[in-house]
Structure 1
Amino acid sequence: MSLYKIQTTMSSINSLYVTCKNNDISRVRELLQTLPDDELSEQGPNKRKALDVIASYGYADISELLLAHKNINQSIKTQWSCIANDEAPAYLKFLFDKMSTIGQNDTINEYDDYAEELIE
């Protein structure tokens, strides 16, 4: 692999990773449409992916975007042998657990109902 390819790939990874960390949902939407599929689950610092970052920060809107994307791999472990769901707060665990079993239109409604129950 050439140095140019490595630098380009790392800047793409860091771009999605940093964008997720900064909770910039508009930019995340852009990157999900423009990054090659094989770069969406690439690991950055500490072998963490963008999905790990948004889970640990509790960003529900971006979590939903990443979980809905067919090429985001949820099973890749960090250097601490954790997956993103392990780092998610309780109100996001529902989204991680249910995303594969409910329709995308239902996800928001079911998640909102669940989040309201946790708050009450």
Structure 2
Amino acid sequence: MSEPTDCIVLRGIAAEAIVGVYDFERHQPRPVPIDLTLWCDLRAAAASDDVAETIDYDGVTQTVHQVCATLQPALIETLAGTIATRLLGDARIRAVTVTVHKPGAVAGVEDIAVRLHRSQAEHP
């Protein structure tokens, strides 16, 4: 089954998380803006104009915030992977691209980000 060409894009989700390998990073949440692309079939929603036929943007955002508030990983790679796994729990989301930004993580670098792409075919 090929991935759909339709997608929903959420850019700049204002999340915060305790994430990092250094002790000073483990004391309080830091901003980790998150971008998502949700690959799904939007034909029914486009035809019906019915919100029940699409993905709940607010619910997706709440999932991201919940993962960020509870996980506390060392790596943003782990944060991105966990978000992807949680979102793929909705079978209507056939694939997801997750980008987690960690601005200011390295002196002299404006932003560091991890982007990963996962699909239902890879989802356990």
Report the TM-score when normalising by structure 2: 0.26
Which one has the bigger helix percentage?
A: 1
With CA pairs under 8 Å and 6+ residues apart, which has the higher RCO, 1 or 2? Answer: 2
Which one has the bigger strand percentage?
A: 2
Larger Rg: 2
Report the TM-score when normalising by structure 1: 0.27
